[in-house]
Amino acid sequence: MFRSIPVFILLLVAGCATVSVPDEKQKAEVSVLAEKLRGLSPQVDAAEAGRAAGTAVHYPLVLAREYHATPPAVINNVLINAGLHPRGLCFQWADDLTAKLMTLHLRTLELHRGVARLGTKHEHSCVVLVAPGQNFTNGIALDAWRYCGRLNWSPVLADKYAWQEVDLLPAYQEELRVAAQKLETDPQNRE
């Protein structure tokens, strides 16, 4: 009987609603993030920073619904690993957000991959936006996993995670390009 309690709790949590953020809070978050992105360099185009910020804030909420994400992130990982949720590990949030940002064809911002605790069982991935030619550590880390779709962002050096830049393998980069092309051509993915 006692062995079935953890399973019952997991099933109960698995049925919980995903993250939602009121529209006015999303708008405010987009505005602040866009300003921070513009502040990376005078070269960063204001309209592009706004589009990138809007996508970074809104798209993870779309993914949260698709993934059936259930906060907190650690519980969500358990549900994924138990086969109860389809996706939502940190690298999947980072991959899907990267692909969506790639559809913006950014010119004055660059996409990078940040990883904390590289090579450990607690490895964690995020997307980092930097101004062209700037060092990775000057960028803004975008972490959609931490709050299961409610974007956490901060300057790379100010975050609680010690992010380091990793170069994605060419085959992996190609997978992300293909995913971005699919997003661009799929009318279901216009958000």
Task: Give per-residue pLDDT as tens, 75-113.
Answer: 888 998 888 988 999 999 999 999 999 999 999 999 999
Burial environment of residue 189 by CB neighbours within 10 A (0 to 12, 13 to 18, 19 or more): middle
111-164: pLDDT as tens digits? 999 999 998 989 999 999 999 999 999 999 999 999 999 999 999 999 999 999
Cβ–Cβ < 8 Å for 140, 88: no
pLDDT tens profile 15-66: 444 566 778 888 999 999 999 999 999 999 999 999 999 999 999 999 999 9
**Strands of the 140-143 sheet, one edge to the other:** 152-155, 140-143, 124-130, 110-116, 164-166
Q: Where are the domains of the chain?
A: 20-185
Whether 85 contacts 70, CB under 8 Å: yes
**pLDDT band at residue 168 using 50, 70 and 90 as cut-offs:** confident
Q: Which burial class, exposed, middle or buried, applies to 158 when counting CB atoms under 10 A from its CB (0-12, 13-18, 19+)?
A: exposed
pLDDT in tens, 17-26: 456 677 888 8
Query: Does the pTM of the predicted model rise above 0.75?
Result: yes
What is the rounded CA–CA span in Å between residue 107 and residue 65? 30
